[in-house]
Each structure stands twice: as C-alpha cells, then as structure tokens.
Amino acid sequence: MGGDLGPRATVEGTARALQSQSRLSACVFGPRALLAAEVDALPADLRVAAERLTLCDAPRVIDQAMKPSQALRAPRDSSLAMMLASIADGQADAGVSAGNTGALMALARRALGTVAGIPRPAISTAVPTRAGGRCYLLDLGANVEASADRLVDFALMGAVMARRVDGLVAPRVALLNIGVEGTKGSASVREADALLREFAGLDYRGFIEGDGIYSGQVDVVVCDGFVGNAVLKASEGLARMLMERVQATFEAHWSSRLVGLLARPALRRLKRELDPVRYNGASLLGLNGIVVKSHGGADAAGFGCAVGRAMQEVDQALPRHLARELDYWRRANASVACGRGVSGADPRRMDADNPQR
C-alpha cells in the first residue's frame, strides 16, 4: 500500500517480477477490493503471471506520517504488519515494502528480531561507481547516530552482503570521513577506524571522503544514518538536476535540437544505465529475516527490481550468513571486540537460535 504511486506500482511491479522469475510466487497485502481492482487493471501481458499472485486482505494501512512509536501501538491487521508476520511465521521467505521506512524498521525489528546481537538493523543500498561496479552505502537513516561499535557492525554487514550477493571475494571496506588523516572526524569515526584496523579477515581500507563513494576504490562505505541519508538524497537530487540539464542543453538551440534528436537514443541508454531503478531496493541488514525497502518514488519497474533484490538475498541465505560471519569475525577478533560479550558464543547454537527464514 506504500509508495508515491500506491498499490498500482506495487501490484504491477510484483506481477512483472513474477513474469520474469518463474520460481517466484508472491502475496500482496492490503484491502482486498482495492488490490483486486489493481489486478484487474493490469496490462494484458501480465495476466498469466498474475495468476501466481495471492491477494491477502489487510484492512488497515500504516500511513506515511505515522511515527514508529505509533506504528508499534497500531492494530496488527495493517498491510505492513501482516506482511512482516508472514515472514515471521515462515509463509514468506522475504518481504518488500515501499511504505513508511520508520514504521517498517520498527515493526520488522519486533516481528523478526535481529541476528548476532545487532541492536538495530542498518539500511543499505548500492550506488553505481565510475569503475562500472557498485558500492554499498550504509547506514541510510535507521541509526541517526552511531557509536564506534555500530559502525564496526555496519562494516562487517556490508562486507558480508557484498561477498554473498555480489560474489566479491574480499570486499574493500572504508569509513566515510571528512579527511583521510587519522586525526580528522568525530570521535566515533576515529574509534571505529582504530577497531577496524585491528580486524583480521576484513579488507579495511581506512577513511574515505565523500567522492570516494562513486570512485570505485571501495565496495562498502560506512557512515551513520544521518550522513548516509543526506548523502544519498543529495545524490538523487544532483543526478536529477544534471540529467535535466543534459536534456535542456540539447534542446536549447536549433542546431543542437537536431543533434538532440539524433542523440536521443544515446541519452536514453545513459538514463537507463544510471537509472536509480536499477539499484532500487534498500536492504534492512541485521534482521533475522529478509526485508527490502523500495524507494517511495519507484514505479512498477523499480518495485520489480526491489523484489529481485529480495530474491537474491533469499538465494544467498543472507541473514544466516550475517549471523555466522559476524560471530566468526568477533571470535577471530575477540581481543578487539572483547567488550561485546559475544566472543564465547557457539556458532552452531547461534544458528539454531537464529534459523534463516
């Protein structure tokens, strides 16, 4: 029910994902009559795929303005709460929502819990890089402030994701800072740097400045949620402005209007290549379950990509690997992380406590 385009984008996007992935089946949650109308309105080419779409009646909706604390007190028959419950009880392998991020985070944490002692999940998404690859940025807003320990958690979770989902052997991880010298930045960033330098088994590259996110030098960039959110949204705004200017420049003069006509296919290619839709789908990392947040502004194609992202995480059993690898890392670096109280945990028991859903 969430997102700027509402269930139209959600239903059509899910149907598109079903069409392209024959092994997928999906439930959509919301007021049944409303969902049924959206299914009826689907383009003809999606009708067959839509037969694998189950409509799950959820009479209530968590709206965009609702605070997390209100969402936690709200009745449990909202589309968001019922979707999360279906993951918690094993009906679904993963959930995707375009709704209220704060409410999604709070309800997901309650419904699914977290792995490996992570107190609060982090939100992460990939951005394209100059090198033609991508870079994971986290946190994007779940943790407004982050202690050094939390930044270390983000670094480890980002590395696990890049390794499992993108198949990188040794993801390069960096901490976002206002300079590369060890004396710069806030106390928590400097302390996290000192901890990560001692960490065995992690390809930690030290501090990186903001432009390093897009340079391709590293695969994971870690920061607190305030900084990550501001950087990501500023990037969205700047990219929109630059693409508008490129278009306007080609339309400005008669001579270049002709060029613009000829250049249209090239511009279309470029837009497709840089399209945020390709990278749509932010993961709630650290949950004991798979939940992907689709951008509120995403259209049906974008929502379909977020569903694809969730499927990749299911294929890679991401929460189980997060639990295992975070525990392994902490044990291997017990002298660094000795204050965490997890160094003695038995990884098998941990797995039993935190079965991958």
Binding site for a second copy (CB under 8 A): 65, 67, 102, 128-130, 141, 144-145, 176, 178-179, 181, 183-186, 209-215, 223, 225-227, 229-246, 249-250, 252-253, 255-256, 258-260, 262-263, 265-267, 269-270, 273-274
Half-sphere exposure for 165 (CA within 13 Å, toward CB): 28
**Residue 69 CB, nearest approach to a second copy (Å):** 9
Closest contact distance (angstroms) between CB of 296 and a second copy is: 11
Q: Which is nearer to a second copy, 46 or 227 (CB)?
A: 227
Minimal distance in Å, beta carbon 233 to a second copy?
3
Compare residues 49 and 61 and give the one whose CB is closer to a second copy.
61
**Minimum separation from the CB atom of position 239 to a second copy (A):** 6
Beta strands in 9-168 (DSSP E): 26-30, 53-57, 94-97, 122-128, 134-138
The Cα–Cα gap between 302 and 10 comes to 9
Report d(CA 19, CA 30) in Å as an integer: 21
Question: Minimum CB separation from a second copy for residue 285, in Å?
Answer: 18
Residue pair 115/286 in contact (Cβ under 8 Å)? The answer is yes
Decide whether 53 or 231 has the Cβ nearer to a second copy. Answer: 231
User: How far apart, in whole angstroms, are the C-alpha atoms of residue 176 and residue 221?
Assistant: 6
What is the spatial distance between Cα 247 and Cα 187, in angstroms, rounded to a whole number?
44
Minimum distance from residue 147 beta carbon to a second copy (Å): 14
Taking the least distance from each CB to a second copy, the nearer of 235 and 343 is: 235
Nearer residue to a second copy within complex by CB, 67 or 349: 67
Rg of the chain (C-alpha set): 21
Report strand pairing: 134-138 vs 290-293. Answer: unpaired
Closer residue to a second copy (CB): 141 or 308: 141
Element of type H or E holding 81:
helix 79-88
Closest to a second copy by CB, 227 vs 323, is: 227
Tokens matching residue 213: 């996110």
Burial of 293 (0-12, 13-18, 19+ CB in 10 A): buried
Q: Residue 175, SS3?
A: strand
Least separation, in Å, of the C-beta of 104 and a second copy? 14
3-state secondary structure of 221: strand
Find the shortest distance in angstroms from Cβ 159 to a second copy.
Answer: 21
Based on DSSP, count helices (H) and strands (E) in the chain, helices before strands.
Answer: 13, 10
Least separation in angstroms between residue 292's CB and a second copy is 19
> Distance of alpha carbon 267 from its chain centroid, rounded?
28
- Give the phi and the psi of residue 26 in degrees, each rounded to 5: -140, 145
- The C-alpha atoms of residue 235 and residue 219 are separated, in whole angstroms, by 18
Across the strands, what pairs with 293? Answer: 97, 282
Report CA torsion sign: 348, 350, 352, 354.
negative
Cβ proximity to a second copy, 20 vs 249, nearer residue:
249
Residue whose CB is less far from a second copy, 270 or 338: 270
